[in-house]
Amino acid sequence: MSLVRTPDERFEHLPEYDFPYDRVTVTDDGAEMAYVDVLGDGAETFLCLHGEPTWGFLYRKMIPRLRDRGRVVVPDFLGFGRSDKYTEGDEYGFEMHYETLRRFVETLALDGVTLVCQDWGGLLGLPFAVSDQPGRFDRIVAMNALLTDGKTDLPDVWHRFKDVVVSADDLDVARVVDGGCVSELSDGAIAGYNAPFPDEASKAGAYVWPPMVPQTPDMPGADRHARLRGDLAAWEKPFFALFSDSDPITNRFRDLFRELVPTAMDAPDVWVEDAGHFLQEDAGEVCADRIVEFVDRR
C-alpha cells in the first residue's frame, strides 16, 4: 500500500479556484480527503460531489453563485485533486469510496444539506443521501447522474469511454474532460484538470473508476443502487434532475429519475443547453442559477 500527495505547488495560480481548503482523515491507514469549505451569506449548505476524472475544480464556476445562499463544501474523493492517492488500483473500490464519503460527512457533521452531484458523485452520493442518511439531506440535485443497479443497461458510448481509459498507456486527464465538454477547455482549465496528477502512479484512481461502475447485479455497489431505486420511489423531499442536452452517456437517465422520484416532476422541466457530460465546466453559471432557483422554491 502506497499513499502519495500531489505537491501544493501544482495547484498554485489555478484560475478561479483560490478558495482555502482543509483535510479530513477518512481511512484507518490515515488517508486524507481535501475539501474546499466556503462560507456564504445564507443558511443553506451545499455538498458538491465530482466524478471521473475530475476534482473540486470542476465546481469553480458554481461556487460564487451558490455561496449567495450559504455554505459550499466541495471535497475531492481519494485519488483525485488535493486528496491523498493510492498508487495501486486495487486499493480502490466502491465501498472504500462510499465509506470515505460517510466519514467525511460525519466528521464535518453536515446537516440540512442540498446534495449537488454528478457522475461518480451521484453513484456514491445518491445512495448515501437517499438510503443511508436521509435525515442529513433537505434536497437533491442530480446532474448528469446514473442509476446503476446492474440491471439498467449503460449506453455503448460509456463502454467505449471505459475501454479508452483502462487501455491508455499515459492517461491525458484534461483531454478526457475536454472530450466530455461542448466548449473547448482554456489553457487554465487544462492546467487545472491535469494539476492533481504529476505522474502515472498518481492516476491509479482515475484508471480504475470507470470499470468500477456497477454493470451487473453482483458487482459492488449494485445492491446499493437496487435499494436506491426503491427508496427514490418513496422520496418526498425536493429532487431536481438537472441534465445537459449533449451528454450521450447520461441523457436517458434524466427522464428515469423524473418518472421514478415523486417530487422530481415538481422541479423545472429543463435541459442545460450547449453542455456536455461535464456541464459544470460548459455551463457552470447557468447550473448554479438553476440550483439557486430550485432552493428558493423551498
Task: Please identify every residue annotated as catalytic.
Answer: 119, 247, 277
DSSP state of 263: T
Q: Longest Cα pair distance anywhere in the chain, in angstroms?
A: 48
Q: d(Cα 14, Cα 275) in Å, to the nearest integer?
A: 22
Are the beta carbons of 33 and 76 closer than 8 angstroms? yes
Q: How far apart are CA 24 and CA 39, in angstroms?
A: 18
Other beta carbons less than 10 A from residue 22's beta carbon: 13
182, 246 contact by CB (below 8 A): yes
Q: How far apart are CA 128 and CA 249, in angstroms?
A: 22
Q: How far apart are CA 39 and CA 72, in angstroms?
A: 6
For residue 105, give the 3-state DSSP assignment.
helix
Quote the cell numbers at residue 59: 465546481
Beta bridge pairs of residue 115: 47, 140
> 230 — alpha (psi -120 to 50), left (phi > 0) or beta?
alpha
Cell reading at 227:
435499494
State the sign of the Cα–Cα–Cα–Cα dihedral 154, 160, 161, 162.
positive
Bridge partners, residue 38, by sequence: 72
Count of residues for the chain? 298
DSSP character at residue 137: E
